[in-house]
Structure 1
Amino acid sequence: MNRRSVIAGAAAAGIGLAASRAVQAQQDALLTIVGPFGPGGLNDIVARMYVNKAAPLLKRTVIVGNKPGAGGLIAAQTVLRATPESSLLVASNTFLIAAHVYKEAGYDPIRDFTPVTPLFTTSAVWVVRKDHPLKDLKGLVADAKANPGKLTYATNGVGTYAHLQMERFKKRYGIDLTHVPFRSLPEGSMAVMGGQVDLAVDTPFAAAPRVKGGQLRPLAVFGPKREDAFPDIATADEQGFGEPNPLTIFCGLVAPARAPAAYVEGLQEASRQAIRDPEFVAQLRKGGVSPFEVSAADLAGIMKAQNERYAELIGALGISLT
């Protein structure tokens, strides 16, 4: 073997060793899934369920960190500023909405992020405390018209899906309710339970235990069907207050668009296995939410279509924050 062959062989070995070390470093590095709301909400709980299934497949340490505030902007900006292989964002309808509500959002949800995996889809449920005089949506609209601004409603913040849904409802029926934002949907429901707020927008996943415990009572389910958790509660459609062209509530994980393609593909493959795990699926269904059975590519198309609709809706509603 001549000297040139020895040098070439050593260089190749060095490159192979460096690549191996790079792969090992990536596996050893901490992966943080950044949630845009406080702990205890639906998105946060399901993200932690996902971690339990995905971490062993990814062969790296994965944690969930919460960065609540500003309708999810803080969380999105945190992920964009970090090393692209170090974090993922818990993304939902609010992730799309906030980009249009805030004048200086600092991100484009379609250009700056790429979908990794869907997690679930669900309905919204509006709840009041057990002994509240409101019984249904008809009573809500009548009370709000008779007493403009007196009734209060809780959401997980300005510029969230819950906030936009209520604002659309208010405009459609010509009523006025006062918005009281909280860091998470469960916090809003707790305020309803304590009598500080009249009404909260929540999810069946979070509301069901409190309904079962007699602390909350649903007014209506905003979804395609009644919920198994409270089958006697009529949907908004059944009550005559259905949403025109409703937008599917979804939740998934997205990575920075600048992340290496091979890395994202690895995440997508592990995620496909994680979200199909029978225990994960059973936990979703037990909690009153459904697996979102679409591919990452399908999720990208859904996000793009919804992003365009939200831009139009928010412009029509005149919601704008600095």
Structure 2
Amino acid sequence: MLHAAARMLALTASILTVGMFGAAHVRAQDAAGFPNKPIQVIVPFPAGVGVDVVVRIIGPRLGASLGQSVVVENRPGAGGNIGHDLAARAPKDGYTLLGTASNFVANPSLYRKVNYDPLKDFVPVIGLIRTPSVLVVPADSPIKSVQELIALAKASPGKISYASGGNGSMAHFSGELFKTLAGVDMLHVPYKGAPDIMTSLLGKQTDLAFPVLVSVLPQLKAGTLRALGVTSTKRSPQLPDVPTMYEVMNPGFDIESENGMVAPAGVRPEVVAKLNAEIVKILRDPAVSGPLIANGFEVVGSTPAEFGARLKNDVAKFADIVSKSGAKVD
């Protein structure tokens, strides 16, 4: 009986081992055969805005390397939530990806209700690029430094105004975080996008703004706006003489917009790893990275685990900003 039991245990172990090997072999074959049809990338913004630009740069190259076309589908609306919801409900096969920006992690705190969880309903694929915000004033503004701005704002509560691209935009979050940490009250004037911010500043309708670097770099180079600080942990290569907020504030802060790609939760890790590896190769191509860096982006190319950690951190960071500022979108 003991010998029979031992033989059964050995047989069971053998079957399990073969089964696990077989399953691993099938998964490897599945990843090797991926993709066998076009891949769709949902972008929750209009064409030409934010993450759409980098996805359209990567898309044709990714399609060429994988042997299948990569189709970008713009599904804007509700601050990105329409595209987020659509991607969350997509089949879990790796053929639908989502291009992400800061609103992907911020909206669950900012909106009263969203139909997705950025950490539970998606798996991270890759962080693509990031860019800081920049505290800017008109070139002829009497405000010459962050310290002067804080002193003036404290002396005249609610009198200084800052422009943003709308509630929930990076410029809005940066402004609210600055107000909280500096202990000042400033008037928030929301617009519909970055072009309106520039018009407002140059027309002297508002005093300052926190646009993302890529949207304001031309004006800074032209000398029509002046930068007082960048919201990254290190100085920008494009603005080496402009200090970080850590250098000029106590406490300082960092807040950057990172664009990336995620897939619906349940997509096989082997497929995610294959997509990540191919996109990293594309981002390392100087023909791709060079123009992105020249225009104010930092090329990231993170692993799924690194991007996942970033998403988790950003969900908490934006939730804290919303909680402290009271910013909400109905």
- Alignment match, 1:32: 41
Q: 1:70–1:158: 8 Å Cα contact kept in structure 2?
A: no
Which deviates further from its counterpart, 202-211 or 54-63?
54-63
Q: Secondary structure at the match of 1:202?
A: coil
- Alignment match, 1:182: 191
Whether 1:195 aligns to 2:213 is no
**Offset at residue 241 of structure 1 (A):** 5.0
In the alignment, the residues of structure 2 paired with residue 137 and residue 286 of structure 1 have an alpha-carbon distance, to the nearest angstrom, of 26
- Alignment match, 1:320: 328
- Alignment match, 2:262: 254
Whether 1:88 aligns to 2:97 is yes
- 5+ residue gaps, structure 2, are 1-29
Query: Aligned AA for 2:81?
Result: L
In the alignment, the residues of structure 1 paired with residue 225 and residue 72 of structure 2 have an alpha-carbon distance, to the nearest angstrom, of 29
Q: 1:144–1:151: 8 Å Cα contact kept in structure 2?
A: yes
In the alignment, the residues of structure 2 paired with residue 180 and residue 287 of structure 1 have an alpha-carbon distance, to the nearest angstrom, of 27
CA shift in 2, pair 1:247/1:218, >3 Å: closer
- 5+ residue gaps, structure 1, are 1-19
Whether 1:289 aligns to 2:304 is no
- Alignment match, 1:276: 284
In the alignment, the residues of structure 2 paired with residue 69 and residue 151 of structure 1 have an alpha-carbon distance, to the nearest angstrom, of 31
TM-score of the superposed pair, with normalisation by structure 1: 0.79
User: How big is each residue's C-alpha offset from its partner over 1:183-232, in whole Å with a ceiling of 9 and x where there is no partner?
Assistant: 44344234323433332212222222221122322121122233232333
Q: 1:91–1:253: 8 Å Cα contact kept in structure 2?
A: yes
Count of aligned residue pairs for this structure pair: 299
In the alignment, the residues of structure 2 paired with residue 296 and residue 233 of structure 1 have an alpha-carbon distance, to the nearest angstrom, of 32
CA shift in 2, pair 1:67/1:158, >3 Å: farther
**Offset at residue 237 of structure 1 (A):** 2.7
User: Which of 113, 117, 120 matches 1:108?
Assistant: 117
User: Which of 151, 160, 177 matches 1:151?
Assistant: 160
Q: 1:185–1:201: 8 Å Cα contact kept in structure 2?
A: no
Q: Secondary structure at the match of 1:197?
A: coil
Q: 1:53–1:277: 8 Å Cα contact kept in structure 2?
A: no
**Offset at residue 243 of structure 1 (A):** 2.2
Q: Secondary structure at the match of 1:144?
A: helix
Q: Secondary structure at the match of 2:188?
A: strand
User: Which of 304, 316, 321 matches 1:308?
Assistant: 316
CA shift in 2, pair 1:150/1:50, >3 Å: farther
Query: Aligned AA for 1:195?
Result: K
**Offset at residue 170 of structure 1 (A):** 0.9
**Offset at residue 34 of structure 1 (A):** 0.5
In the alignment, the residues of structure 1 paired with residue 191 and residue 91 of structure 2 have an alpha-carbon distance, to the nearest angstrom, of 30
Q: 2:133–2:174: 8 Å Cα contact kept in structure 1?
A: no
Matched-pair identity in %? 32
Between Structure 1 and Structure 2, whose CA radius of gyration is higher? Answer: 2
In the alignment, the residues of structure 2 paired with residue 252 and residue 312 of structure 1 have an alpha-carbon distance, to the nearest angstrom, of 22
**Offset at residue 312 of structure 1 (A):** 4.0
